[in-house]
Amino acid sequence: MTTPPPDGLIVVAKADCPTCRLVEPLLTELADAGPLQVYVQDDSDYAAALPDTRYDDTLEHSWRLETEFVPTLIRMEQGREVSRTYGWDKAEWRAISGLSGLGEALPVMRPGCGSKTLEPGIAERLELAFGDVQLKSRGIDVSAEDDAIEACYARGWSDGLPVVPPTPVRVLRMLKGTTRDPQEVVGLMPPDLVSCTVEKVAINAVMAGCKPEYMPVLLAALEASLEDDFGLHGLICTTMFGSPLIMVNGPIAKAIGMNSGNNALGQGNRANATIGRALQLIIRNVGGGRPGEIDRAALGNPGKYTFCFAEAEDSDWLPLAQERGIADGRSAVTVFPGEGVQGIIDQKSRDPESLARSMAESLRAVDNVKLAMAGDAVLVVSPEHARIFIEAGWSKQRLRETLEQLLMAPGESLLAGAGGIAEGIPTRFKDKQVPKFRPGGLLIVRAGGTAGLFSAIIAGWAASGPVGSAPVTREIKQEAT
């Protein structure tokens, strides 16, 4: 690139702009008064008679000068910009040029036009070509005749549904959603233990259909899932049903449009669907966790496509993230080794004691009615059910403690072989009262539509606990992008 003159004026213009055409005759007067460099974005004939007019066909000069509008007039002194204006403003052009009679016959003011550097897709292409951001991932050439989506299928990048082809422009645009260095290693992605960079996260976020503003949530969810306590490697490789479930708390959920209401566990919300899907694609495409290979799930569950929702925080109940140590007003994700959704239908209970008993009996079915302290569980309480507890003065903690008491069972009834069922717990528990869940193994969140006396259980992987998988909560970094 030609270095701008250390002293003098720079004009950036395009012939297609009426205001640029308006000021074109003035450029000779500016050139006669001192050094003038003209960069024209679209037509080599514009101001062609001037000795220092350059056709900026690559737009590199315009981009490096951070041009947003044309015409732009800049004064340089000792290689540094000291003043700038854009469009035609007679007073400002006279002040910057030092020519008191400049443009006497012209109107006082005329608006300019947008710079070609800001046209859709152009800014990212210029940043990739001339900026500091350099994508390191291997590029794949797909000819214009090929279908890019089919090319992604052919390379095994899909979860079975179409993905958005991760072009360099799309990836760069996704990276604008975070201030983190694209080459920062988030962690080693199991099961192959491959380094997963922020750039790799962005690539899979593009394929999943995310918006850039989802990146802080996705990064926090990935970091939480990579903590040792979560046991992601085992969760990927198990023959059981589980996969990461993402629950989001705090202001960011509303800011990015997440769903905590009607159909919160279902389809239809872009943020919910694509954040969960992006994590699953990272597991597949970076870590190598593909079904039939390392992923040995006998049946799997639909959450292996995506499983992500926000907790409804418009009640007296303490949000899950705060229960788990995150400060009020902060945003966080909790990852949980979730299986499928088991509905709880109770449209008759109108007091908290009855409803708690109903929920407890339903929770007994997690994993198997004969199993205890195996899998964790998330109890998703709908607003209508939650209202019964809240109006009676029950907090989440009281509901949890009540359920834990109701779920105690005599060990002899759960022993292997008891009741004619071979499944069960070891004989050493015969004379003990046995809890259904290990301490801290039952999480409660409030979500769903305001109409419907229905709640839900999301069972956890039966390897929950210190040697398997535990829920992990991580604060979402508040990023200014």
pLDDT of 1 > 60? The answer is no
pLDDT band at residue 105, thresholds of 50, 70 and 90? very high
CA proximity to 320, closest of 455, 444, 191, 412:
444
- Cα of first residue to Cα of last residue in the chain, in angstroms, is 29
CA proximity to 247, closest of 362, 378, 374, 341:
378
pLDDT tens, position by position, 70-89? 999 999 998 899 999 999 99
d(CA 143, CA 117): 26
pLDDT band at residue 289, thresholds of 50, 70 and 90? very high
Q: 19-28, 121-130, 221-230, 472-481: which range is least confident on average?
A: 472-481
What pLDDT was estimated at residue 449? 96
In which domain, by residue range, is 428 found? 149-475
For residues 306 and 222, state if they share a domain: yes
pLDDT band at residue 467, thresholds of 50, 70 and 90? low
Q: Which residues contact 481 (CB under 8 A, 6 or more apart)?
A: 176, 177, 178, 179, 212, 213
For residues 252 and 386, state if they share a domain: yes
Q: 49-53, 333-337, 410-414, 459-463: which range is least confident on average?
A: 459-463
Provide the b/e sequence for 227-237 (b: ≥16 CB within 10 Å). Answer: eeebbbbbbbb
For residues 181 and 53, state if they share a domain: no
pLDDT of 290 > 60? The answer is yes
d(CA 287, CA 190): 5
What pLDDT was estimated at residue 24? 97
Q: Which residues contact 150 (CB under 8 A, 6 or more apart)?
A: none
pLDDT of 102 > 70? The answer is yes
In 349-395, at which residue ranges do the beta strands (DSSP E only) sit? 377-381
What pLDDT was estimated at residue 44? 95
d(CA 439, CA 441): 5
For residues 120 and 177, state if they share a domain: no
**Residue 139 falls within a domain, yes or no?**
no
pLDDT band at residue 61, thresholds of 50, 70 and 90? very high
> How far is residue 148 from each of residues 153, 156, 210, 214, 386, measured CA to CA in Å?
9, 13, 18, 24, 47
pLDDT band at residue 139, thresholds of 50, 70 and 90? confident
pLDDT band at residue 4, thresholds of 50, 70 and 90? low
For residues 121 and 165, state if they share a domain: no
pLDDT tens, position by position, 169-228? 999 999 999 999 999 999 999 999 999 999 999 999 999 999 999 999 999 999 999 999
In the chain, the amino acid numbered 208 is A
In the chain, the largest separation of any two C-alpha atoms, in whole Å, equals 103
Mean pLDDT of the chain: 94
pTM of the model: 0.88
pLDDT of 270 > 70? The answer is yes
What pLDDT was estimated at residue 480? 45
Domain count of the fold of the chain: 2
pLDDT of 464 > 90? The answer is no
pLDDT band at residue 378, thresholds of 50, 70 and 90? very high
The residue among 130, 163, 189 that closes a domain is 130
- Secondary structure tally for the chain: helices H, strands E: 17, 20
What pLDDT was estimated at residue 117? 96
d(CA 273, CA 173): 20
For residues 331 and 372, state if they share a domain: yes
Sign of the CA dihedral with 61 first, then 62, 66, and 72 last: positive
**Residue 481 falls within a domain, yes or no?**
no
Given a contact cutoff of 8 angstroms between Cβ atoms, the answer to whether 311 and 225 are in contact is no
For residues 13 and 77, state if they share a domain: yes
**Residue 249 falls within a domain, yes or no?**
yes
3-state secondary structure of 198: helix
What pLDDT was estimated at residue 481? 44
**Residue 410 falls within a domain, yes or no?**
yes
The residue among 77, 95, 130 that closes a domain is 130
For residues 169 and 125, state if they share a domain: no
Given a contact cutoff of 8 angstroms between Cβ atoms, the answer to whether 295 and 289 are in contact is yes
The residue among 75, 101, 130 that closes a domain is 130
For residues 197 and 92, state if they share a domain: no
**Residue 214 falls within a domain, yes or no?**
yes
pLDDT tens, position by position, 418-458? 999 999 999 999 999 999 999 999 999 999 999 999 999 99
For residues 116 and 170, state if they share a domain: no
> In this structure, what token pair is assigned to residue 450?
């305001």
d(CA 408, CA 99): 90
What pLDDT was estimated at residue 336? 97
Q: Residue 74 belongs to a domain with what CATH number?
A: 3.40.30.10
**Residue 381 falls within a domain, yes or no?**
yes
In the chain, the amino acid numbered 102 is L
Given a contact cutoff of 8 angstroms between Cβ atoms, the answer to whether 190 and 289 are in contact is yes
For residues 107 and 223, state if they share a domain: no
> With pLDDT > 90 as the criterion, what percentage of the chain qualifies?
88
pLDDT of 379 > 90? The answer is yes
Given a contact cutoff of 8 angstroms between Cβ atoms, the answer to whether 208 and 161 are in contact is no
What mean pLDDT do residues 156-162 have?
95
Q: For tokens 């951070």, what's the residue?
A: 66
What mean pLDDT do residues 136-143 have?
78
What pLDDT was estimated at residue 137? 83
For residues 55 and 119, state if they share a domain: yes
**Residue 135 falls within a domain, yes or no?**
no
Q: 103-117, 121-135, 138-152, 416-430: which range is least confident on average?
A: 138-152
Q: What is the 3-state secondary structure (H, E, C) of the chain?
A: CCCCCCEEEEEEECCCCHHHHHHCCHHHHHHHHCCEEEEECCCCCCCCCCCCEEECCCCHHHHHCCCCEECEEEEEECCEEEEEEECEEHHHHHHHHCCCCCCCCCCCEECCEECHHHCCCHHHHHHHHHCCCCCCCCCCCCCCCCCHHHHHHHCCCCCCCCCCCCCHHHHHHHHCCCCCCCCCEEEEECCCCEEEEHHHHHHHHHHHCCCHHHHHHHHHHHHHHCCHHHCHHHHHHCCCCCEEEEEEECHHHHHCCCCCCCCCCCCCCHHHHHHHHHHHHHHHHCCCCCECCCECCCCCCHHHCCCEEECCCCCCCCCHHHHCCCCCCCCEEEEEEEEEEEEEECCCCCCHHHHHHHHHHHHCCCCCCCCCCCCCEEEEECHHHHHHHHHCCCCHHHHHHHHHHHCCEEHHHHECCHHHCCCCECHHHCCCEECCCCCCCEEEEECCCCCCCEEEEEEECCCECCCCECCEEEECCCCCC
What mean pLDDT do residues 109-123 have?
93
**Residue 142 falls within a domain, yes or no?**
no
What mean pLDDT do residues 241-266 have?
97
